[in-house]
Chains A and B, each alone.
Chain A
Amino acid sequence: MRLKGAQILIKALLEEGVDTIFGYPGGVVLDIYDELHKGQLRHILVRHEQGAAHAADGYARASGKAGVCLVTSGPGATNTVTGIATAYMDSIPLVVFTGQVSTALIGSDAFQEADITGITRPCTKHNYIVRRTEDLARTIKEAFYIARCGRPGPVLVDLPKDVAQGMAEYAPPEASPASFREPSYLPDTEALRQVIGMLRQAKRPVILTGGGIILGRASEDLRKFVRTTGVPITSTLMGLGAYPGTDPLWLGMPGMHGTYYANMAVSHADLIIAIGVRFDDRVTGRLSDFASQAKIVHIDIDPASINKNVLVDLPVVGDSRTVLHQLNQMLEQEKEAVPADDLRAWLRQIKEWKEYAPLFYGTGEKIKPQCVIETLYRLTGGEAVVATEVGQNQMWTAQFYHFNRPNQFLTSGGLGTMGYGFPAAIGAQIACPDRTVLDIAGDGSIQMNIQELATAVNYNVPVKVVILNNGFLGMVRQWQEIFYGRRYSHTNISQVPDFVKLAEAYGATGLRATRPEEMETVLKKGLETPGPVFMDMVVDPEEGVYPMVGPGAALTEMDLGRKNG
């Protein structure tokens, strides 16, 4: 069947099971938009291309499917770069289609021309420029395959205008592109036997999980593994929700703003089984002191992650779900996976640490941001899908919203992109129309993609945005307070818009709480109000995130905050 390039694109997307794309039209993608006009595919019109990339990312994280966006050439394409880099750092499967000037014009500095494959080479898993309409279908197939397989990531496909306009014979391509090697999902059985052997000898074991559990859909197998072994578990920011945050074996998050007991447990462990983590500097603290008493097993699908930052004792390359499934099978023959007496003593020690320094916050005349998160947790029954921006809002959410299931927490962990949360929440709400979707924001970060409020109102996407409004770029202010002698250089942003009026101006609902006693009522009302809602929480301006491990310090060197510290 002979089809136009634009038709092939839509057909190929439908073949891939895509139901929704996020995009913004422009000159060179007019043929594609004309095809979209037939309505075979749901297209969400964002208000800025960065929003399209983040929304596709939020859709991907909440649904576990690949997110798709479509933008025009030049500025349309370059505006997606932050969103692509965000997805790349967090290994999120995205397929980004960018328009390009006609092949004959490429390299001539044509109007709205940008070398987007060149620009995104270091922040995509792979990218393509399609030069012939007959290559389009196969390229799309490969792009989706690469985005999803192994360690997922964003793939960009650049589409020159004449490729979308040209005609070619269309036949759905082969299931798996022959030109690309399948990554190795199957672990080495001998290595797994060694893991079991190391567990058998461990006195103070800790399981450390990350985003790889969620991406690998290994949550059920992980829960079984923890139940069978009885080993306490901590997870990086990216892995929150893979293990229930309410379980007694749960230690909370380790690292710079991790819990005292998670950091103490990691630092005193004699065995760490790390699964789907990449040992980011925010997690390890000073590398030379990280888990210095422990043997480290590192299980990851990406061989390049292993021995990258932390040298490990036992590397296991494999898919997290397959590895955990096989470990669970091997453990069925074991009477006692970990020596029970030693484990009991270890858990007792951890309990003492938990009692010595639980997460806490004070009370006062102003609303405490941590209390906002705890109240939201209670009001939503811990069931909401929660996106965050970046900074204090992100850390408080990670600490005080106890995530219980995977794909529930959406945050820019690697790149740390302010402006991520709101469009990501919109994407997540579109993927999960029946769930409550929150964006926990700061007054700084919400202004970075606030134009997407028009998108939310346009499509009646009922995202609830809770702004922890402290009049500061709070996390940077906190660093200035601690490390720069309270010289608050350019972090005071108290000149903010009236968020209530702003929400109303866009056609959304705006609510505000300024006193602790109003807070719960406003949150409740906001959650019950249909459609998109902004809740402006005027919080204690100089509240900090604690515990805190300073940059370059060891995980044991924690500032526990004003009360204990």
Chain B
Amino acid sequence: MEVKEHKMTLLVNNKPDVLARIAGIFSGKGFNIESISANVTLDPEITKITLVTRGNTATVGKIEKQLRKLVDVLEFNLAGNDRTILREMVLVRVPYLEENREKIRKDIENFHCRTLRMESDHCILEVTGTLEEIDWVLKGLKPLGIEDLSRSGIIFLK
């Protein structure tokens, strides 16, 4: 069966053990969570969790049913291809040296990066975009020698 990426959001009660319950359903099926992002909604009692996992569609369907059974899961949504806006943010630290300054300035412009910090030896850049855009930017920045990076995990809205 076809293995592909599945993106989902869950509205859950904002309680300490809820994330562990959700993670348990994935690990119980031998599924890895590729990315996860969580924060409270306008209602501070309710948290929205966005998850990405890889697997065949049938198994993801089983995971969905198990998630829906959790007492603290209030709502479940799978991202579709239709009118779903997906974004991820990444922070990248690259060396800022005499010999690559020109290239960095060009890359910042080409890749629409925001410069968050610029110091004599390094700079920190922010990129927001779709998964593909971020992968493309990271590939482009790689020759500069990426020192470290943090990815937020995707979030989406329909």
Q: Which positions in A face B, CB cutoff 8 Å?
A: 117-118, 121-122, 125-126, 146, 179-180, 302-304, 307-308
Contact = CB atoms under 8 A, between A and B. Distances in A.
Contact of A304 (B20, B58, B66): B66
B17 A121 contact: yes
B140 interface: no
B52 to A, nearest CB: 22
B13 A179 contact: yes
16 contacts: A118-B17, A118-B20, A121-B21, A122-B24, A122-B28, A125-B71, A126-B70, A146-B71, A179-B13, A302-B69, A303-B65, A304-B62, A304-B66, A304-B68, A307-B62, A308-B62
A44 B139 CA distance: 68
Nearest to B74: A181
Contacts of A308: 62
5 shortest A-B CB distances, which residue pairs? A304-B65, A126-B71, A303-B65, A304-B66, A122-B24
A121 B20 contact: yes
Interface string B47-79: 000000000001001100110111100000000
Contacts of A126: 70-71
Given A179-B13, A180-B71, A304-B66, 19 more contacts: A117-B17, A118-B17, A121-B17, A121-B20, A121-B21, A121-B24, A122-B28, A125-B71, A126-B70, A126-B71, A146-B71, A179-B71, A303-B68, A304-B65, A304-B68, A307-B58, A307-B61, A307-B62, A308-B62
Contacts of A303: 65, 68
Nearest to A118: B20
A52 to B, nearest CB: 24
B49 to A, nearest CB: 17
Contact of B69 (A117, A118, A122, A304): A304
A122 B71 CA distance: 13
Interface of B: 13, 17, 20-21, 24, 28, 58, 61-62, 65-66, 68-71
Contacts of B69: 302, 304
A213 B123 CA distance: 66
Contacts of A117: 17
**Residue of A146, A179, A180, A304 with most chain B CB atoms under a 10 A cut-off:** A304
A304 B17 CA distance: 22
Contacts of B68: 303-304
A487 B24 CA distance: 39
Nearest to B62: A308
A146 B62 CA distance: 21
B108 to A, nearest CB: 45
A87 B28 CA distance: 19
Contacts of A304: 62, 65-66, 68-69
Contacts of B24: 121-122
A303 B68 CA distance: 10
Contacts of A180: 71
A304 B62 CA distance: 7
A117 B71 CA distance: 14
A306 to B, nearest CB: 8
B10 to A, nearest CB: 14
A446 B21 CA distance: 35
B15 to A, nearest CB: 10
A122 B26 CA distance: 11
Contacts of B61: 307
A121 B16 CA distance: 13
A409 B65 CA distance: 30
A286 B142 CA distance: 51
A117 B21 CA distance: 10
Nearest to A180: B71
A124 to B, nearest CB: 10
Contacts of A122: 24, 28
Contacts of B28: 122
Contacts of B58: 307
A529 to B, nearest CB: 47
A419 B86 CA distance: 53
B61 to A, nearest CB: 8
**Residue of B20, B65, B66 with most chain A CB atoms under a 10 A cut-off:** B65
A28 B120 CA distance: 60
A125 B70 CA distance: 8
A125 B69 CA distance: 9
Contacts of A118: 17, 20
Contacts of A302: 69
Contacts of B13: 179
Contacts of B66: 304
Contacts of A179: 13, 71
A307 B63 CA distance: 12
Nearest to B63: A304
A125 B66 CA distance: 11
Contacts of B20: 118, 121
Nearest to B67: A304
A492 B71 CA distance: 46
A319 B24 CA distance: 27
Nearest to A126: B71
A78 B13 CA distance: 27
Nearest to B45: A179
A308 B69 CA distance: 14
Contacts of A121: 17, 20-21, 24
A146 B70 CA distance: 11
A146 B72 CA distance: 12
A227 B21 CA distance: 44
A324 to B, nearest CB: 23
A122 B62 CA distance: 16
Nearest to B61: A307
**Residue of B13, B17, B24, B70 with most chain A CB atoms under a 10 A cut-off:** B17
Nearest to A153: B69
